[in-house]
Structure 1
Amino acid sequence: MSIGNSPEDERPFEDVSEEARPSIGRALRQARLDAGLTVDDVTNATRVRIAIVQAIEADNFAPCGGDVYARGHIRTLAKAVHLDPAPLLAQYDDSHGGRPAPTPAAPLFEAERIRPERRGPNWTAAMVAAIVAVVGFVGFTAFKGDDSGKSAVAEGGSTPTSDKTTPIPKTDKPKDPDPEPSDSAIAAVPQDKVTVQVSAVDGRSWVGVKDHNGRLLFDDLLKKGDSKTFQDSEKINLVLGDAGAIDLYVNGKKIDDDWQPGAVERLTYTKGDPQAG
């Protein structure tokens, strides 16, 4: 009998390298580049620090501070670059020992273990009952006295009445007219400032807003139906993560640019007629 390799050892070697599926970091980085976003744009949109974004894109999850925080950062970055986070989280769990176990819930409160405490006589209720009885007796006495007075009046004749009756003047106060609807805040924008209103009407979008000094006025996710208004004395700089979901009003006029869904737009507006830079 010869000793050799078994037929199983001669089977073609299966390719299980990382080339078959891109890593989490490479997938996030490619999606960011496809969306036309820089690392600064993602940091401004998600508030995840630049160092952590760069580390995750390099598949280094140590700066996240643990599996729970790493999963949260992966989910946040995936949404910012329009990527489904579920496959990435599953890939992370496969390579890091599975999903973190949930914190055990506290034991339920067992009502049957509580024994009722012994209570003494309820003196407060007794005092209240006594007070009610006294008040009732006083009221009954007063009511009987009032009936005696009425009987005396009936026996002695009718009570005198005044011949003259003072008429009650009637005042026909006109109703307040319904207030006229005021002009919208957009139509009444001041002429010495630049006013920009951003409304998410067709979906949600990350929005970044800076004034003419570069100071950050707003940096957050604008949900569908939300609206924000910004003013500056000279200039407003905008970054729209999904310009196709946004309606934009500048100095009281609607900007009718045909932005496509998912398009990232960087815009600058000044006073007077809207001028996008």
Structure 2
Amino acid sequence: MSIGNSPEADRPSVGAALQKARIGAGLTVEEVSTTTRVRIPIVHAIEQDDFSRCGGDVYARGHIRALARAVSLDPRPLIDQFDAEHGGRPAPTPAAPLFEAERIRSEPRRPNWTAAMVAAIVAVVGFVGFTLFTGNGKSGGGPVASGDANAKPAPAPTRHPSTIKPPLKPEPSDSAVAGLPKDKVTIKVTARDGQSWISAKDANGKLLEDGLLKKGESKTITDKERIDLVLGNAGAVQLYVNGKEVKRVGDKGTVERLSYTRGDPQAG
């Protein structure tokens, strides 16, 4: 069905044309609303030429276009008729002056702090490198000052392992021995090379010390008269009596029974 070619007096209104075409197509308002997603009250209002519920001329043109296509009408004559009856389509506002104004307006340039920081770092690195280079050039004792660019520093003298002497163990000083009480017997036992079992009693048989001495541990025992000492694994023990070392206590794995009094250990 086509309209627009009939005389003005015989041409139906936009709403009447849409309603007639819908009825001719055998469609209900609900079906047209489902197809176009235009709400049913608005479809009824448009068919009565009431476009106030469309929300404006732009939405009214869109609804006319959708309803016309749903009932197989050409929407262009209906939209032209709507524009003629409602003051015509507004002329578009030229946008060029707006763009020109935006183009003329310029923002002030901000300082580039990143570039400034990079330049400062480069200057500092260059100054440090120049200082190091000039400092090395002034030293007269190095290979660079002598003019030989390929010269290498002389290696440090190495010593053969056989010529290196182990550090001597400090002997107890006379002052240390003199510091021990003269009226007592003092024994210091150290498990130097392994663990050892020790037992110590006084002259009356009273137990002064008894237990396992782990490697690296030491025990110091004193008595007024005499100390009777039993050492297990005697070869692993370092023994001091009254501040003097007993050079040979025994062999490893053996049990030694020793007795010491006041004075020199050899006198015990």
TM-score if structure 2 supplies the norm length? 0.38
Structure possessing the higher relative contact order (Cα contacts under 8 Å, 6 or more residues apart): 1
